[in-house]
Structure 1
């Protein structure tokens, strides 16, 4: 590993709501904090800010999420938190982590404690035509709309589930997009759901009002919202021209004879999110499984300590529950790090964390009230056919996976036989799909299919960022050594 050049009390990985909140609360308690994020701006996915080169001259004209994110980012001012943007954590060994900032060589930081807040990414869903130009995830389209102010087409069909299926089409319509329909794979609310929502309303007024406002926006823009519908395939010559969708049962499995075709040049897919687990798996954290929270979720105690000493996890990377939960979890994690470091007493930490804990309880009461509506069905992993590309990086189709899956339920062996998961994304896109195929073939729940072994580097980086003179190791040699052996100069 590169020679260590910095030692800090706390490293926070992730510059979204959880990471910012954790860094701020820990720094205010007295810790020396370094915050690293791979994006060019802070804010994460939900509070994504315009990138370098863009200037917001009228913040009042931006949406509320932008203003909330800007206020959260500005709250770091004066705290002493060191922020590294365009920086990825690519390796970790004990308390030493390797950071690579874009355009620079690797550096090693020794962190006494770490808060991991890597966030989440769109749940990949493979179906025939999902690789056509014009098929885009909700996160990708959000990036275009929020940071570039670009809409990629003229007729946009949204298909997904969860709160995003209501909010995102309304937000796109606000940006001027023509949404032909919004498809929700889950069920329509019933009277019992509304009663449960009313009981969980205390402390959640903003979220419920937002939901009502988004529903009103869909009505005003005459956007049909259809429940129990899922994408079957995308069709077109060189790009999306048509989208076929169908009705599904409670497990999101397609009901034969219910297919409909709609003309669209963009298909936005948003079937929820999965947590970014790579760092937590690399350091050895233990996990449980809850598909509605993103699949594998890291195991934590009441102070958000993981099963690895000195490592805390907060936000959607530890279980997808939204930005409000992420902010409060970040605060609790930052206070926990300060308490465990001895700069904050247990009593003071408990008092400071109490308001956040109360808010978390209320948010989770609301989540429990919507559990029937937002349950993820296993059918979401059963939409591909034999010709569908499952691993986009290595161009591995479902038929290429079939012989390996028939012979083993070990995803590492399937990866070794087929190369699915060996590309630049390191399985982030295809791993859940492969696990779903294994589960279906062997008649097992998807949660019983172990994930592939994590490897370093966690993120793809230029080899020049790592292969420099600072790297030490008995099996490595420097260019000067090779030159000395053959009598030449480097």
Structure 2
């Protein structure tokens, strides 16, 4: 497995895989196994993505058995690339794509353009942002953020943690964090508690999903072991405190996750961990011009794909949570299918061979999705998740734009780009990841539309924050303002005694 090397020539692979999580690894392995030249780029210092993240440089795991199962499984998945011939480029972000070209930026190096006949986009997902009073206080952290601290840095940010979320995450994350030593005083699940009919449906979909169901039982047992109360049908209303989280107010919700008046309760904590699911990272797919569908339970806008995970743009494939959030096992199988599709379309394997190789993955996907369908009543995302903010709530954290600051612009338009231009909401470093969905909901409610009708803001490159020196044209200088770094170094060398 070749890691990034600044002396490598600019690559011109048969396939560029973007993302080093389970989907990206599987796609790269499948494409390379079919005989294609593959480059895999990931902005993290280690492979594994969010779900299988590994300790960063400087950390050594001396006893893998002491780590959780996700770590060990992720390690096995990563090691499957050894000897595959995949050129892995870590700390390398893909900041723009267009017409078979991608701009790669590696830490400390100038940008490079890679030409690839085919691209498999597996950018993963990020935590679903939920705006409520106090969500910007120090001590409020997403499940992914806290998991990163605990898994890769072995750091716990507080002494009393309240977890609030929904879906499988509401079972898994509190149990995992407790395993790492976190004191979880309460876990809240916005969805309803399981009914007998739900258990029957899940049992009917158990075939091929025994590992997932065992995990669910183990997580529930973990909550019981650590005496962590799990309360269903409740959501965070607000976080309070003087400069940091000191207490959290939560309340009961109806089937649509709308707060039931008079049910508020307060808990004293110093950390509030939010885990209301994930949304796909769509930026690169939108830059390429891919078509999209809308499924809130899969994260909102999701890229349109055919049965081989081809997008509407020729030569571009999408796999994993970045194409619709369905979990790591689905991501692995989708990555395999996308890698085989790229090889089939390149003509290095036949349609029949690709179909045979993809058949086991397709069977597993059908079983996973049968289980997801069985849990729909419990795990569907309610529209009330977008209705927790007040007029004084900061909606855009980067530009400190409050809900009341958005009102006039939203009154005049249904176009989120116009709201962005007038208020600067969405112009900060996160490029709207934290606020865009909430603003879309505000627009939809004001104009009597569905949130699915509100198109996301126009994508811009670079899709990730990047040092301007990495993408600057060093042949351009502005005397008196800026000069190329090489010129500065030469002048300093001349005057050095």
Aligned counterparts of 1:295 and 1:175: Cα–Cα separation in 2:
32
Number of the residue aligned with 1:28? 33
SS in 2 for 1:289: strand
Runs of 4 or more off by more than 6 Å in structure 1?
Answer: 477-480
Number of the residue aligned with 2:5? none
Number of the residue aligned with 2:237? 232
Number of the residue aligned with 1:93? 98
Number of the residue aligned with 2:312? 307
Q: CA deviation at 1:469?
A: 3.6
Number of the residue aligned with 1:13? 18
Give the unaligned 5+ runs of structure 2. 1-8, 477-481, 488-493
Q: In the TM superposition, what whole-angstrom CA distance separates every residue of 1:171-217 from its partner, at most 9, and x where no partner exists?
A: 11111111111000000000110000000000000000110111111
Task: Choose which of 271, 277, 284 in structure 1 pairs with 2:282.
Answer: 277
SS in 2 for 1:180: strand
Residue 357 (structure 1) aligned with residue 332 (structure 2): no
Aligned counterparts of 2:63 and 2:348: Cα–Cα separation in 1:
41
Is this contact kept in 2: 1:92–1:98, CA < 8 A? yes
Aligned counterparts of 2:101 and 2:135: Cα–Cα separation in 1:
40
Q: CA deviation at 1:406?
A: 1.1
Aligned counterparts of 2:379 and 2:35: Cα–Cα separation in 1:
40
Q: In the TM superposition, what whole-angstrom CA distance separates every residue of 1:125-175 from its partner, at most 9, and x where no partner exists?
A: 000000000000000000011001111111100001010001110111111
Residue 297 (structure 1) aligned with residue 302 (structure 2): yes
SS in 1 for 2:185: strand
Residue 464 (structure 1) aligned with residue 479 (structure 2): no
Q: CA deviation at 1:344?
A: 0.7
Give the unaligned 5+ runs of structure 1. 472-476, 483-488
SS in 2 for 1:267: strand
Number of the residue aligned with 2:453? 448
Number of the residue aligned with 1:377? 382
Q: CA deviation at 1:468?
A: 3.4
Aligned counterparts of 1:139 and 1:65: Cα–Cα separation in 2:
14
Number of the residue aligned with 1:190? 195
Residue 44 (structure 1) aligned with residue 49 (structure 2): yes
SS in 1 for 2:326: coil
Is this contact kept in 1: 2:98–2:287, CA < 8 A? no
State how many pairs are aligned.
475
Q: CA deviation at 1:470?
A: 7.5
Number of the residue aligned with 1:178? 183
SS in 1 for 2:29: helix
Is this contact kept in 2: 1:136–1:268, CA < 8 A? yes
Residue 128 (structure 1) aligned with residue 129 (structure 2): no
User: What is the TM-score normalised by the length of structure 2?
Assistant: 0.94
Aligned counterparts of 1:230 and 1:438: Cα–Cα separation in 2:
23
Aligned counterparts of 1:450 and 1:138: Cα–Cα separation in 2:
27
Task: Choose which of 147, 156, 163 in structure 1 pairs with 2:161.
Answer: 156
Is this contact kept in 2: 1:105–1:468, CA < 8 A? no
Give the aligned CA root-mean-square deviation in angstroms: 1.7
Number of the residue aligned with 1:60? 65
